[in-house]
Structure 1
Amino acid sequence: PSGNCLEWTHRFFEKLTQGQPENFRVPIWGFAPHYYCGSAGTALDFSDAQWYQLLKQAAYMDTLIQEQWEAMAEYDPQHRVKLVVDEWGCWHPSGTEINPYHLFEQMSTLRDALAAALTLDIFNNHCDKVAMANVAQLVNCIHSLFLADGEHFVRTPNYYVFDMYKDHQGAKCLKTKLEADDISYTIDGEKRTIPGLWGSASLQENKLTLTLVNLQLKDPLETKINIVGATVKQIVQTVLTHQDSHAHNTFETPDVLIPKSKKLDLTGEKFTIELEPASVSKFTLTL
Structure 2
Amino acid sequence: MKKAKCIVDKDYIIGEVEPKLYGSFIEHLGRSVYSGIYEPSHPTADEHGFRQDVLELVRDLSVPIIRYPGGNFVSGYTWTDGIGPVEDRPKRLDYAWLSIESNKIGIDEFMDWCKKVGTEPMAAVNLGTGTPQDAGYMIEYCNHSSGTYWSDLRIKNGHKDPHNIKVWCLGNEMDGPWQTCGLSAEDYGKKAREAAKIMKWIDPSIELVACGSSSPWMATYPEWDRVVLEHTYEHIDYISLHRYYENEGSIENFLASFADMNDFIKTVAATADYVKAKVRSKKTMKLSFDEWNVWYIKKQIRFPWMEAPPILEDQYSLLDALVFGGMLCTLLNNCDRVRMACLAQLVNVIAPIFTEKGGRVLKQTIYYPFQQVSMYGRGTALKTLTSSETFETTLYGNVPFVQTAATYNENDGSITVFALQCDVQEDAEFSIDLRSFGNVKMVEHLIMDGPDLFAKNTFEAPETVIPRKVAVDEANDGNIFKTTLSKLSWNVYRFAKR
Secondary structure at the aligned position of 1:233 is classed as strand
- Which residues of 2 match residues 1-287 of structure 1 at below 5 A? 1-4=213-216, 5-16=221-232, 24=234, 27-41=235-249, 50-77=250-277, 78-92=282-296, 93-94=298-299, 101-142=309-350, 144-150=351-357, 151-184=359-392, 192-204=397-409, 205-230=412-437, 231-265=439-473, 266-287=476-497
Structure 2 partner of 1:47: none
User: Residue 431 of structure 2 contacts residue 482 of structure 2 at CA under 8 Å; is this kept in 1?
Assistant: yes
Instruction: Call closer, same or farther: CA 1:129–1:38 in 2, change over 3 Å.
Output: same
Which structure's residues are more often helix, by fraction?
2
Residue 251 of structure 2 aligns to which amino acid in structure 1? W
Instruction: Call closer, same or farther: CA 1:108–1:203 in 2, change over 3 Å.
Output: same
Deviations 1:160-200 (A, max 9, x none): 11122123443111121111111135x6xx99533211111
Q: CA deviation at 1:206?
A: 1.1
Q: CA deviation at 1:243?
A: 1.1
Q: What is the RMSD computed on CA atoms of the aligned residues?
A: 2.2
Residue 184 of structure 1 aligns to which amino acid in structure 2? E
Q: CA deviation at 1:15?
A: 2.6
Structure 2 residues not aligned, in runs of 5+: 1-212, 303-307
Cα distance in 2, alignment partners of residues 122 and 36 from structure 1: 14
Moved more, 103-112 or 262-271: 262-271
Structure 2 partner of 1:20: none
Moved more, 72-81 or 148-157: 72-81
Secondary structure at the aligned position of 1:177 is classed as strand
User: Residue 3 of structure 1 contacts residue 64 of structure 1 at CA under 8 Å; is this kept in 2?
Assistant: no
User: Residue 214 of structure 2 contacts residue 242 of structure 2 at CA under 8 Å; is this kept in 1?
Assistant: yes
Cα distance in 1, alignment partners of residues 377 and 422 from structure 2: 24
User: Residue 235 of structure 1 contacts residue 267 of structure 1 at CA under 8 Å; is this kept in 2?
Assistant: no
Which is bigger in relative contact order (C-alpha 8 A, separation at least 6)?
A: 2
Secondary structure at the aligned position of 1:134 is classed as strand
Cα distance in 2, alignment partners of residues 191 and 213 from structure 1: 17
Deviations 1:209-229 (A, max 9, x none): 111010112311111111131
Structure 1 residues not aligned, in runs of 5+: 18-23, 42-49
Instruction: Call closer, same or farther: CA 1:83–1:217 in 2, change over 3 Å.
Output: same
User: Residue 96 of structure 1 contacts residue 107 of structure 1 at CA under 8 Å; is this kept in 2?
Assistant: no
- Number of residue pairs matched by the alignment: 265
Secondary structure at the aligned position of 1:32 is classed as strand
Cα distance in 2, alignment partners of residues 263 and 137 from structure 1: 34
User: Residue 238 of structure 2 contacts residue 287 of structure 2 at CA under 8 Å; is this kept in 1?
Assistant: yes
TM-score by length of 2: 0.50
TM-score by length of 1: 0.86
